[in-house]
Each structure stands twice: as structure tokens, then as C-alpha cells.
Amino acid sequence: MAVEYDGISSAASEKLVPWLSIVGLGEDGLAGLPANAIQAIEIAEVVFGGKRHLGLVSGAIKGEPRPWPVPFDVAMTDVVALRGRKVCVLASGDPFFHGVGVSLLRHIDAGEVITYPAPSAISLAASRLGWALQNTECISLHGRSIDLIRPYLHSGAKIIALTSDASAPALIAALLKETGFGRSIFHLLEALGGPRENPRATTAKDFDFADIDPLNVVAIEVVADEAARILPFASGLDDALFEHDGQMTKREIRAVTLSSLAPRHGELLWDIGAGSGSIGIEWMLSHPSLRAIGIDQNAERAERAMRNAQAFGVPGLDVVIGTAPEAFEGLPTPDAIFIGGGGSEAGVLEGAISALKPAGRLVANAVTLEMEAMLLSAQARLGGSLIRLEVARASPVGQMQGWRAAMPVTQWSWVKPKDMP
């Protein structure tokens, strides 16, 4: 299937004449570039880049040097406007590892581009430390929340993280200390690949480095204390990890619910009656490509869900304060929907069914007789599967122990037909 880029089909990309070159730079500037990359800079009529990049290769620029606008234009309007002319874009390291190349090729066909990548800061860091990249967690915290590192904090793990500025390493070290990973070995690698390169190491709890170069990478050898906040990879995380008021989908039910929702790459979930946010959070923890929107009419619970999302390293959870189904208005179409609270209110279930993408999945849990009756009726009308979940936990009965049953949960799972509007 052909893909469109500003009116150009990828099927025709082989007929296109490359007019844009993307040159990846290291801190050694021109000295680290091959001859063909230098030539791409020299023949360009316009050379785009950050001021630092333009300065590193100023001796080779014969056309117009043009710094990126502030704020940065993710639509790359200025570059696209020069289509057909000789243009060069300067990037840091590998342009397609969290780099400008990714933004460019959202608007320009790959057949119009020739790329000259350099080693990424991640690759340079791994080579300095002797770490196998395939066994290392590599993430970008550049311009992003440092909370994104939380899911990777497992004892024995190795992490290399791109950062934003000179303040980021201290913030990361503080997060490690606060969450029980203070004994982790903390490597600070500054200005890699250039004359100012400066590797330093300490433990996260002892981090006190000063005069940090804004161009830095952090590498961590994770060591967990006994009470460290480790987020297991399995669904059904311990209830105690969440901040909640008791109104949440409990651990065992949550594990089954996530299994029924069956997250798939790049999908969007609506979590209706989000409460603590636990379903949306575990959905997003399944894979970095997943997105979730929590919907709750209670502002206090919505704020709690956002705090939980930050604490679980998925700060991208979007929480909408509003009453369903009115709150659905204007939201992007979901691939999956979970109804965990408020589903018996008028119009909520029908509104969710209508909003769901064709072939999308809907999972609804009921603990009240009224909601159960709605799910039984929906299953009789639309099909899908019904299961009943019952959990009992051992608890003290005088000097002994006995089973105390939690409220049973009726779960309806349904896939919307492709031809259903």
C-alpha cells in the first residue's frame, strides 16, 4: 500500500531525485565526517541546523546557514518549502534515533533524502563502557519527563538515557535515591566524541557533580535496595503500589481485565470511570507505543490518577474530568474501551459502543446487579463473552484464618463488528 507524504506516494519514491541531505555530526565536527558528508554540506544552497551544529561545520558551509526557528517547527515548514533545491540538515549523531530525521520524514519521502549518520550518543556511551547495546535499555529523556525511566528500574539492568540539559543528571540521581535505587552505579558521560569529553562515575545516592556540560548522557547500572519500588513486567500489579481511595480495580481482576483488553502496538484505550488510573496505567506499561485516556467525573480521583501515572513512569496518561457519555465529545477514536465505573448510568454503554472503532474491543466489569443486568442484556443483543470472577483472600478469624470473598465481578468482552457504525 502506498503512503502519502504531502501528496507524494512512497510507491513512486524510486523515481524521485534526492534533494535533501541529512548529516549526522559528532562533537568532533568536520574531523569526524566522511568526504561524501562534507561534500553534501558544501554543495547545499541552504544548511539548516542548531547554532552549535552550524558552528561545528562552518568551514564547509558555502550556502546560506539557517538556524532552526525558536520554538522548533515540528512540521519542518521551512525545509519542505525548499523542495527541489539542494538543502542540507545537520543533526546530532544518528538522525533517526530520536533525531530530526524522524520529524523530517513525516513530511518528506525517503526517496528524496540521502542520510549520512554518525554514531549516536547512545552508541558512544556503550562503547566507552563496554556495554552490549542489545542488552541495554536505551531511552530518551530529552525534552521528556524523567519519570519515563521508572519502568526500567530493575536490579541488574543497564540503562543509557539521553538527557536535556545540565540539570537532568541530578534530577535522575534524586529519583533513583527516592525510589530505592540509591546504590546504583551512576555514570555521567559529557560531550562524548569531542575534545571536552569527560566521563565521571559515582553512586546515585552520592551524586554531587558540579559544572556539568549540557551535552551529557547518563548510564546506570541498577542496584535495588530491599524496599525499592520495582514495577514487575506482569499485569496485575500490587494494589499497594497505587495511591487509591479503595475505589479501584483490584489486582487479580485487573490482570484478567488487561488480558481481555489485549493491548496491541500503537493502540488507544479509553478507561471510563478511571478511578486511580490503574487500568490505563497498566495498559501503557505493556508497551511504549500505547496510549490511554482516563475519564472520571471526580476531580480528586482524576488528579490521583495523574499522580499515579507519574509514579509508574507513564506521565503521558491523559485524564479527562467529565461525566460520560458527554465527556466523549471531541476525544480521539479508541481502539479499546474499558468500563469500570459509572457504566450503569444512562447512555454510557451505548455511547462507548458508538465511539469504539470498528473491530475495536470493549471490556466492561460489573459489581452491581444493575450493571450486571445491562451487561447480560448487551451480550444477549450483541454477542461477546461473559465470565464471572470471584476472588477470596485468607484473613484472620479469631486465632485462625478463613476465606473472605470479595464481591464477584461479571465481565463482558466484545469485539465490535467491522461493518457496525
Report the pLDDT value the prediction gives residue 11, as an integer from 0 to 100.
Answer: 47
- The grid coordinates of residue 289 equal 507505543
Cell of 402: 478463613
For domain 122-221, give the CATH number: 3.30.950.10
pLDDT over 80 (residue 298): yes
> For residue range 263-284, what is the model confidence (pLDDT) as tens digits?
999 999 999 999 999 999 999 9
CB atoms within 10 A of CB 251: 17
Q: At what angle do helices 278-285 and 299-311 cross, to 10 degrees?
A: 30
The highest-level CATH class for domain 239-415 is alpha beta
The rounded mean pLDDT for the chain is 94
What is the average per-residue pLDDT within 161-172?
97
Percentage of the chain exceeding pLDDT 90: 92
Q: CB neighbours (10 Å) of residue 166?
A: 16
CA angle centred on 178, ends 190 and 285, rounded to 5°:
85
DSSP annotation of 245 reads S
Would you place residue 2 in the very low, low, confident or very high pLDDT band (cuts 50, 70, 90)? Answer: very low
pLDDT of res. 78 = 96
Confidence of residue 355 (pLDDT cuts 50, 70, 90): very high
Query: What number of other Cβ atoms are within 10 A of residue 148's Cβ?
Result: 17
Query: What's the pTM?
Result: 0.90
Residues 221-228 have a mean pLDDT of: 97
* Whether pLDDT at 5 is above 80: no
Asked whether residue 15 carries a pLDDT value surpassing 80, the answer given is no
pLDDT of residue 312: 97
Q: What is the pLDDT of residue 66?
A: 97
Topology (CATH) of 4-118:
Cobalt-precorrin-4 Transmethylase; domain 1 (3.40.1010)
Residue 248 pLDDT: 86
Q: Residue 146 pLDDT more than 80?
A: yes
211-232 mean pLDDT = 97
Can you tell me the mean pLDDT for 157-168?
Answer: 97
Percent of the chain with pLDDT over 70: 96
Residues 234-247 have pLDDT tens digits of 999 999 999 998 88
Asked if residue 179 lies in contact with residue 186, where contact means CB atoms within 8 angstroms, the answer is no
- Would you state the pLDDT for residue 8? 47
Chain centroid to CA 388: 33
Domain ranges of the chain: 4-118, 122-221, 239-415
What is the predicted pLDDT for the residue at 14? 53
Quote the CA–CA distance of 113 and 391 in Å, as a whole number: 58
Bridge partner residues of 140 (DSSP): 162
pLDDT of 339 over the 60 cut = yes
Determine the residue type at 260.
Answer: S
Q: Distance of alpha carbon 193 from its chain centroid, rounded?
A: 28
Q: Is residue 377 pLDDT above 80, yes or no?
A: yes
CA–CA–CA angle 147, 153, 155 (5° rounding): 165
Q: In what order do the strands lie in the sheet with 46-49?
A: 64-67, 46-49, 87-92, 20-25, 113-116
The pLDDT tens digits of the residues spanning 387-413 come to 999 999 999 999 999 999 999 999 999
Q: For residue 33, is pLDDT > 50?
A: yes
* 95 three-state secondary structure: coil
Cα separation, 93 vs 23, in Å, equals 8
